[in-house]
Amino acid sequence: VTRIEYAALDARVRALEQAEPIPTPEPEPPPEPTPEPVPPPPDTPPSLTTGGTINATGYTYGGPITITKPTTLIGGTINVPAGGVGLIVASHDVRLDGVSVRGVQHTKYTGELGIQVAATVASPILRLRIENCDISNVGGIGLRLDHISDFTIAGNRVYDCGYSGIMVLSGLTGTVSNNTVARIGAAIPMLELPGQGNAYGIAITDVGQPRSADVLVVGNTVEDVPTWHGLDTHGGQRIRWERNVTRRCSRAIFITSSGTGRAAQNVIVDNRFESPLPVTFNRIAITLAGVDGLTATTNFVSKDYPIAAVGEADWYDRVVYDYGGGSTNVVASGNVVG
């Protein structure tokens, strides 16, 4: 090859290398790091008395347990001892979410309580929230909440209780909403209940002063309170009962006075008081006794409840019965019988 031919060949090789460069191989990616092992849950359930946020899901505890610090308790099951209390709230700013409370029986009336608030008139419990909990098989009261203020009781299931499902005593400014309460006093003979028949689905009442006031009771379902009251207040002031449903309750709702004063300025609106059957005695859908100021409008009342004749004394709008005829400032209109 002549020098001239070699130079021409070398020029063509360089031109090809510039037109089609030899690709550089991609570097191998680094290996994935080995994940840290996830520790198993502790064998010992977390303490429920430390305060803060506690996830007790999957653990079971024996009561009574007392919460004395601001706490968010998520999940867990608490067993109520015979004749005792499952969970006691003795602090402000407690939230219970998805907690299950289980009693030992509901066929005899006893002093058992599922969840209790330990407070006084001088030192009420503030900002209590009980949500999405399941309380059952308690011989007394599922939720007994004394002297609470700024509270929320929502989305709970309370059933198979001897005396009451949800009982708020001297509660101020709160909401009881979207709870299901069922089979209260249903497994106990009437004569064995307090007052020979008393049982309450949801009661907003008092233990002396102050009287319960400014409470919204909305969207709840109360079923199977065969001996007494599905919804109730003794002495409650400015209680609004709205869009609740009762079924198979002797008296769907009862508004009455207490030892500390007359119930005042209650509103009963857009509720459904469905059939009390098979209950065949002591049946009235809306009952008043010693009330000063009440409005009852646009409620549905089952035809299986007694309906007053036109102009019958002590009845308003044919479905609201004033027991004893001593109530004042009552307005009833637009209620439907079906």
290: left (phi over 0), alpha (psi -120 to 50) or beta: left
Residue 75, pLDDT score: 98
Non-local (6+) Cβ contacts of 146 within 8 A are: 116, 117, 118, 119, 169, 170, 207
Q: CB of 295 within 8 A of CB of 320?
A: no
For residue 191, CA distances in Å to 46, 51, 109, 196 come to 43, 43, 11, 4
Concatenate the DSSP letters of all residues of 140-158 into one string. SEEEEEESEEEEEEES-EE
pLDDT over 90, % of the chain = 82
pLDDT tens digits, 239-279: 999 999 999 999 999 999 999 899 999 999 999 999 999 99
Q: What is the pLDDT of residue 12?
A: 55
Model pLDDT for residues 289-314, shown as the tens digit of each residue: 999 999 999 999 999 999 998 889 89
Residue pair 249/222 in contact (Cβ under 8 Å)? The answer is yes
pTM (two decimals): 0.87
